[in-house]
Amino acid sequence: MSALATLKLSAAKKSQSTNPASVRRNKLSKKIWEQIELAKAQASGSTFTTTRFRTVTDDDDGRRSVQVSKLVRAWWWTAENGKLALNLRYGARVIEIAKGKSAVEVGSASELVPTLELLKKAVEGGELDLQIESVGIKLREAFGR
């Protein structure tokens, strides 16, 4: 019996167009994942960095990709009342979660990771699509100046 005969074959085609809301959702979800990993690392007393590829030019004008570490900055800080506050960011912009409110108050550092996971679930569920889209529009307008 042939190896291909054991597979279930179909005529499915990959979609050429992608849903822009889904792309924005996935981008923000990835950044929230980085924040979750950063919070876990800080709780355990270690550091967290991600890696990315960067193209560099050699001495003999050759170009090659090099893997470099990227610093992940925390989206949370200690507020005036002593509790942690957390912003969601899309690019360099802060997302306004509700009208006039852009920060989430987190009681302590132990509640930070569950709060970030809850926000990630909300983003993946599409609950913040309108807010992400409005911030994305502002970002695109800034590039047109």
Q: Residue 53: pLDDT band by 50, 70, 90 thresholds?
A: very high
Whether residue 105 contacts residue 111, with contact meaning beta carbons closer than 8 Å, is answered with: no
Q: What percent of the chain has pLDDT over 70?
A: 99
Domain that holds residue 120: 20-143
Residue 10 within a domain: no
- Report angle CA 54, 56, 58 to the nearest 5 degrees: 155
Residue 15 within a domain: no
State which amino acid sits at residue 60.
D
Residue 8 within a domain: no
Residue 125 within a domain: yes
Residue 91 within a domain: yes
Q: What is the pLDDT of residues 10-40, one digit of tens each?
A: 888 887 778 888 889 999 999 999 999 999 9
Residue 119 within a domain: yes
**Mean pLDDT, the chain, as a whole number?**
89
Residue 104 within a domain: yes
- The reported pTM is 0.79
Q: How many domains does the chain have?
A: 1
Q: Is 76 exposed, middle or buried (0-12, 13-18, 19+ CB in 10 A)?
A: buried
Q: What is the pLDDT of residues 81-139, one digit of tens each?
A: 889 999 999 988 899 988 999 999 998 888 999 999 999 999 999 999 999 999 888 88
